[in-house]
Structure 1
Amino acid sequence: MSQTNGGQLAPARSALPDNNPSPLAERALTSESRFLPSHRFIISCGTVTLDRKAGKVLLVYNKPNGIYQLPKGRKDIGEDRLPFTAIRETLEETGYDVQPLELEVPTRSTPVHVAAPIIRAVITTQDTTVDASDNKINGATNGTSKTAASASASASTPPSAAATSSAPKDELVDVDGDQVPEKGLTRGIPNKEPIACSHWYDAQTQALKMIFYFAAEADSTAQPREQRPEDAAKHEVYWIEYEDALERLWYDEERKAVEKALCDLRRSE
């Protein structure tokens, strides 16, 4: 036994157990996986924002690209809660103050356990309310530009398209979650977990881009905040009825995100 800096005895190396992988660990080792360093992935978040009373969903029309899409954007440095990112980006792109929508989302996040309130009490986290005094909303910068993540990538081989998705194809379109293994799946508990995610290899940055979508709600008749000039120049904002929105959305994964939100909404009513 050797003594550590903290004064406690650490076992000698010869006393440490050897690896003795179980069949499950062996299968995990041989399953397709890939390591990505920090400069090889992008985390983005967006919302499917609904006006349940009007039966409409909030979309942005991207004028430079000529397409309808969901409001979304990259996580800022220091944002430690993805729902905050989704709400902030929606506010920046649309001017609407949206609120997280609690639904019965089937999720593989673990249910809250007894120790959770104690743990949360000693961890300082952000509030999901975006204040009007936020520098980004008022047009000031926070020291990092939106193009910072497109800095030069390393010379390592970028992930191939095949490596970005190894899930069975039918799982990728199973919006109701009825055809998936139940192990580790929590149902029937209202929550604000991500309703979906999409990912692909972005050739411009040579990074894997991951987008997490959250359900949100807002009043389509409310007066939105004034957008920043750069956002107003790029985006037009529309509340569009559900079926029409599904036809207008350009990206297939965003149509599926709206379908998933509506499926979770029906399940929760």
Structure 2
Amino acid sequence: MAVDSLERLDTERIDRSMDFRPADALVMSCGTVTLDLARGLVLLIWNKQQRIHQLPKGRRNIEEPMLSAALRETYEETGIRVTPLRLNIATRATPPKQPNNGRGQKNPDITVGCPSTEFVGACLYPDPQSETEALKTVFYYAATADSTIKPDAGTQEAWEKLEPRWVAIADVASILCFQGEIAAVRKAVDDVKKTGYTIGG
């Protein structure tokens, strides 16, 4: 007789590894890896205060959907309206229910072959801008835009000193400041190619 999977859980190990953090010790941020597919470019921001290149991102508003936050923050920081890309992303999100002829199949750990606008990955690190200890998670979404369109003016907060810059995808590793963001770009580009999009003609 098969043992139910819940009975096989190592609850003691789970308990030892489980960590609780209150909401005020967590920062949820969302951003995009925005590509001009035709020209093989990626949208970055030049942070004039820190003098570094970064991906556009920012904190989610209360009850704001994560993808909406990513698109909004990208627009606010760059003045460029971007469109999410629907990709075949390997994800741990639950796939839509499919008819299974009553066989009761279990959902796989990793969902593949289900085009979506799910995030391509996330960066986790202590928030350097918080006055109190907080763990920051930045969820990145793949998006697209036309690099020849002039950015809208006046979209940034008064204190932000950011300049949008389109750079060649091949140059990202030598331009972006953070290795985690370089990895986010590479993952988005890989997912775009696996889905069948052509980059750079």
After TM superposition, the score normalised by the length of structure 2 is 0.84
Among the aligned pairs, what percent are the same residue?
40
Cα gap change, 1:202 to 1:233, in 2 (>3 Å) = closer
CA RMSD for the aligned pairs?
A: 2.1
SS at structure 2 position matched to 1:22: helix
Distance in 2 separating the partners of 1:27 and 1:48: 39
SS at structure 1 position matched to 2:17: coil
Corresponding position of 2:79: 95
Corresponding position of 1:193: 118
SS at structure 2 position matched to 1:43: strand
| 2:19 is the alignment partner of 1:34 | yes
Corresponding position of 2:102: none
Corresponding position of 2:187: 260
Asked if structure 2 preserves the Cα contact closer than 8 Å seen for 1:68 and 1:248, the reply is yes
Corresponding position of 1:60: 45
Asked if structure 2 preserves the Cα contact closer than 8 Å seen for 1:93 and 1:231, the reply is no
Deviation at 1:78?
A: 3.0
Structure showing greater radius of gyration is 1
Deviation at 1:259?
A: 0.3
Corresponding position of 1:209: 136
Corresponding position of 2:3: none
Corresponding position of 1:219: 146
Corresponding position of 1:72: 57
Deviations 1:26-57 (A, max 9, x none): 25534512001111101000000000000000
| 2:35 is the alignment partner of 1:45 | no
Structure 1 segments unaligned to the other structure (5+ residues): 1-20, 116-181
One-letter identity of the residue aligned with 1:95? G
Asked if structure 2 preserves the Cα contact closer than 8 Å seen for 1:246 and 1:258, the reply is no
Deviations 1:57-113 (A, max 9, x none): 00000000000000000011231x100000000000000110111111101101112
After TM superposition, the score normalised by the length of structure 1 is 0.63
- What aligned pairs does 1:140-155 form with structure 2 within 5 A after superposition? none
One-letter identity of the residue aligned with 1:62? N
| 2:37 is the alignment partner of 1:110 | no
Deviation at 1:22?
A: 1.9
Asked if structure 2 preserves the Cα contact closer than 8 Å seen for 1:198 and 1:212, the reply is yes
Asked if structure 2 preserves the Cα contact closer than 8 Å seen for 1:46 and 1:212, the reply is yes
Deviation at 1:266?
A: 1.2
- What aligned pairs does 1:127-146 form with structure 2 within 5 A after superposition? none
Structure 2 segments unaligned to the other structure (5+ residues): 1-5, 100-106, 197-201
